Amino acid sequence: MQIFGYCVYQIYFHPLSKYPGPLSSKLTSFRAAYHAWTEDQHLDIWRCHQKYGPIVRYRPDYVSFNTVEAYKDIYSGDTTTKPRVYEHLQRQHASILTLRDNKAHTVRRRLLGHGLTSTAVTDMEPRMLRHVRNFCHALGAGLDTTSSEKGAWGSPLEMADWCSYLTFDIMVDIVFGVSGNLLVDPSQRSIVEDIGISSKRAFVLINAPLLYLGRMDRKLFPGSVSSRRRFLRLVDELVARSTSLSAEEKSRAIVHRLLAGRDAEANGGIPVMQSLVSDATTLTVAGMLGHHFSTNLALINHTTTGFDTTAPALSATFFYLSRSPSIYNRLVTEIRQRFSSPDEIKQGELLNSCTYLRACIDETLRITPPVATALFREVLPGGELIDGHVVPAGYHAGTSAYSIHHRVDYFHLPKEYIPERWLNPSGTRGGVHNPAAYIPFLRGPRSCLGRSLAYWELLVTVAMVLWEFDFRAVDGSEAGVGGGDSMSSMPGRNNSGEYQLFDRGTCGRVGPVLQFRRRI
Ligand code: HEM
């Protein structure tokens, strides 16, 4: 009887009952949790929007909106915040990603933002370039061993892995000032998988917080708990290594700049602790920052799963280029004409003038947004009017980048990779093109702080690789790795031309498998 009463209430009398959606979603969070588990929640939300329209009740307490107007309402002001469930994701202290208090978030964002401005990216460039060169070195390993082999294709490489190693090494270097070394030393590489596995657990928990009861999550995800522990141990180790750097080395690491900034902020602008003075303070504060950064690092670095962003964008770009000869050739021509040597490939006018390169990156982030899912927000007291619809306080609303980027009335031929749409929307294969619906980095006060850094990594790495190498997809059984399976009955998973994301909050991915040769 109680169950019957609960169902009647959810379907007819609940404050969100007027919004359409699958019956199962109105009653429980099971569907959302299930698709978090099967790593296709972004596709399920997209399919629901195809069926029910731009507003879908996707969980009993959550409405997914798929319009430009709605996401402006949800993400632009201070009438929403991060949902309470995010608190479970932090170890002791809230990270910038989990902070619920909007004022505290603004302060934290200001502090962290100093280390990630485009000027800061210029300062960090020489160190980041070292890692991009290591990446190219790894791709070219084994090539040109004898002059007779010059021009021969190398062994197949799994690009998802190599892109993860690159972005991990860059982030560890600029955040902690120490070396992550995954590109050159295979011994620690399992860490990217650990990050992925632990992210999957976190994502399922966000969607089904009931699993926290009696710590059921630990029983359901035993492997992921140990993966997370290993990852956090690594972060603590990095923090410890970072604290023993010289003063000059510390000045280049974001974590230390943040410490100085944090003190200044807390002391009316007087930086009382410009260096880390005692081991006790160091370990406590740095450990805390380690956890703070663990979320951000996880956001960036992943192998097959999870909180990863730049790496999947990079491997997706290689995927699309390897499958589109005309796009590949146009881009190769732009890069090789623009730069006369790889040393010229760095931030500046020449790189900015590579408009086709930028269009390819933007198109990757549109069709394959690394944060594909809806980053849902909790409505604060007073409620909120979202695209003309009332969502009362305490309930959740969000917009999924994958869904809105695939709206046919915002982007013509949304399932196709067409960089030209960013150059001349009304030109080649022209059709509707609505840049206001483009939200890979989100917009508003919680938008991505690492945008400049991410663009640097993507533009410079792709340019450097194309300057040095030709590449192609392998033949045979691995040719399609990374794309959808045309035999799949699941819309979204059956598009062989679209790089597949495995949604775990950010995303996992595999492939493409490519071969390289020195450019001819
Ligand atoms: C293509 C690459 C990237 C994409 C698509 C991306 C996307 C996003 C998105 C969608 C958010 C909002 C998350 C939320 O509200 O929960 C975010 C936040 C954030 N991102 Fe990125 N990101 C990328 C790369 C980076 C990089 C390289 C960094 C460098 C540290 C970074 C640092 C951050 C930080 C610190 C936040 C939190 C901002 C805040 O809450 O104020 N991101 N990112």
- Dump pLDDT digits (tens) for 119-166: 878 888 999 999 999 999 999 887 766 555 667 888 999 999 999 999
Mutation pick for ligand 1 pocket among 110, 175, 309 (CB with most ligand atoms within 8 Å): 309
Q: Mean pLDDT across the stretch 10-29? A: 90
Dump the DSSP string for 360-407.
Answer: HHHHHHHHS-SS-SB--EEEPTT-EEETTEEE-TT-EEE-BHHHHHT-
Q: Is the pLDDT of residue 213 over 50?
A: yes
Ligand 1: centre distance to CA 429 (Å): 32
Q: Is the CB of 254 under 6 A from ligand 1?
A: no
CATH code 3.10.129.10 for 74-366+412-429+448-518: no
Take atom 21 of ligand 1 and give the residue whose Cα is closest: 448
pLDDT number for residue 401: 96
Mutation pick for ligand 1 pocket among 292, 448, 449 (CB with most ligand atoms within 8 Å): 448
Radius of gyration of the chain (CA): 23
Residue 75 Cα: closest atom of ligand 1: 15
Residue 454 Cα: closest atom of ligand 1: 27
Residue 457 Cα: closest atom of ligand 1: 27
Q: Is the CB of 370 under 6 A from ligand 1?
A: yes
- List Cβ neighbours of 512 (8 Å cut-off, separation of 6 or more): 159, 160, 315, 318, 319, 322, 473, 481, 482, 483, 499
Work out the mean pLDDT of the chain and round it to a whole number: 83
Q: Is the CB of 368 under 6 A from ligand 1?
A: no
Q: Is the CB of 57 under 6 A from ligand 1?
A: no
DSSP state of 496: T
Q: Mean pLDDT across the stretch 398-410? A: 96
Residues 398 and 377: their CA atoms lie apart, in Å, by: 6
Count other Cβ atoms within 10 Å, centred on residue 404.
Answer: 28
Among 247-261, 290-304, 466-480, the least confident range: 290-304
Give this complex's ipTM.
0.99
- Tens of pLDDT along 342-368? 999 999 999 999 999 999 999 999 999
Q: Is the CB of 414 under 6 A from ligand 1?
A: no
Take atom 6 of ligand 1 and give the residue whose Cα is closest: 441
Take atom 7 of ligand 1 and give the residue whose Cα is closest: 441
**Of 145 and 423, which is predicted with more confidence?**
423
- pLDDT band for position 89 (cuts 50, 70, 90): low
- List Cβ neighbours of 176 (8 Å cut-off, separation of 6 or more): 238, 239, 241, 242, 253, 255, 293
How far is C-alpha 151 from the chain's CA centre? 35
448 is in an annotated binding site: yes
Task: Tell me if residue 62 falls in helix, strand or coil.
Answer: strand
Tell me what percent of the residues of the chain surpass a pLDDT of 70: 85
Q: Is the CB of 183 under 6 A from ligand 1?
A: no
pLDDT number for residue 224: 72
Among 21-35, 148-162, 223-237, the least confident range: 223-237
**Quick check: pTM over 0.80?**
yes
Among 156-165, 488-497, 499-508, the least confident range: 499-508
- Ranges of H-type helices in 141-253: 159-176, 190-207, 216-220, 222-243, 247-250
Q: Is the pLDDT of residue 407 over 80?
A: yes
Q: Is the CB of 379 under 6 A from ligand 1?
A: no
Q: Mean pLDDT across the stretch 107-124? A: 81
Tokens, residue 316: 């997706």
Take atom 17 of ligand 1 and give the residue whose Cα is closest: 448
Q: Mean pLDDT across the stretch 85-96? A: 68
